[in-house]
Amino acid sequence: MLYGMCHMINKLEKIVSLCKRRGFIFPGSEIYGGLRGTWDYGPLGSELKFNLKQAWWDYMVKQRESVFGVNASILMNPKVWEASGHVASFTDPLIECKTCNERFRADKPTDIKEHEEMHAQKKEKIFWTEPKQFNILVEAKLGVIEGEKSTIYLRGEITQGVHVNFKNVVDSMHPKIPFGVAQIGKAFRNEITPRNFVFRSREFEQMEMQTYVKPDEKEAMAMFNIMKDLRMKWYLALGVNKNKLRFREHAPDERAHYARAAWDIEYETPWGWDEAEGIHHRGDWDLSRHSKFSGEDLSYFDQETKERFIPWVIETSAGVERPLLYFLLDAYCEEEDRVVLKLHPKLSPYKAAVFPLLKNKPELVEKARNIYLSLRSDLNVAWDDRGNIGKRYYSQDEIGTILTATIDFQTLKDGTVTIRDRDTKEQIRAKSDDLGTIIRGRIDGNDFASFK
Applying CB under 6 A, which residues contact ligand GAP? 157, 159, 189, 191, 200-201, 204, 206, 208, 275-278, 315, 317-319, 321-322
Distance CA(438)–CA(375), nearest Å, equals: 11
Min separation Cβ 185 and ligand GAP, Å = 12
What's the Cα-to-Cα distance from 299 to each of 80, 158, 207, 258, rounded to whole Å? 18, 21, 25, 18
Q: Least distance from C-beta 280 to ligand GAP, angstroms?
A: 6
- DSSP three-state, residue 184: strand
Least CB distance from residue 36 to ligand GAP, whole Å? 12
Q: What values do phi and psi take at 281, rounded to 5?
A: -95, 105
**φ and ψ of 162, to 5 deg:** -80, -50
CA distances from 355 to 382, 395, 411 (A): 9, 12, 12
With respect to ligand GAP, which residue has the nearer C-beta, 208 or 397?
Answer: 208
> Closest CB to ligand GAP among 157 and 384?
157
Instruction: Report, in Å, the least distance between residue 317 CB and ligand GAP.
Output: 4
CB of 20 to ligand GAP, least distance (A): 19
Q: Which is nearer to ligand GAP, 159 or 396 (CB)?
A: 159
Output the smallest distance, CB 396 to ligand GAP, in A: 29
Q: Is 49 helix (H, G, I), strand (E, B) or coil?
A: helix
User: In the complex, what is the shortest distance from the CB of residue 73 to ligand GAP, in angstroms, rounded to a whole number?
Assistant: 17
Q: Concatenate the DSSP letters of all residues of 253-305 into one string.
A: GGS-TT-SEEEEEEEEETTEEEEEEEEEEEETHHHHHHHHHH-----EEETTT
The whole-angstrom separation of Cα 205 and Cα 185 is 5
Nearer to ligand GAP, 254 or 414 (CB): 254
Contact (CB, 8 A) for 351 and 243: no
Question: Please, what is the minimum distance in Å from the beta carbon of residue 208 to ligand GAP?
Answer: 6
> Which C-beta is closer to ligand GAP: that of 153 or that of 393?
153
Nearer to ligand GAP, 179 or 267 (CB): 267
> How far lies 353's CA from each of 52, 137, 361, 402, 447, in Å?
20, 44, 19, 8, 19
Q: Of the two residues 18 and 198, which places its CB atom closer to ligand GAP in the complex?
A: 198
Of 201 and 406, nearer to ligand GAP (C-beta) is 201
Q: How far is the CB of 25 from ligand GAP (least distance, A)?
A: 13
Residue, CB closest to ligand GAP: 319
Distance of closest approach, residue 278 Cβ to ligand GAP, in angstroms: 4
In 91-176, beta strands by DSSP E: 91-96, 103-105, 132-135, 138-142, 150-154
**241, 330 contact by CB (below 8 A):** yes
* Contacts of the segment 53-56: beta carbons below 8 A, 24+ positions apart: 53/184, 53/205, 53/207, 53/320, 54/346, 55/234, 55/238, 55/346, 55/347, 56/184, 56/207, 56/234, 56/318
For residue 52, give the H/E element and its range. Answer: helix 43-57
The smaller minimum CB distance to ligand GAP, of residues 208 and 421, is found at: 208
Nearer to ligand GAP, 51 or 201 (CB): 201
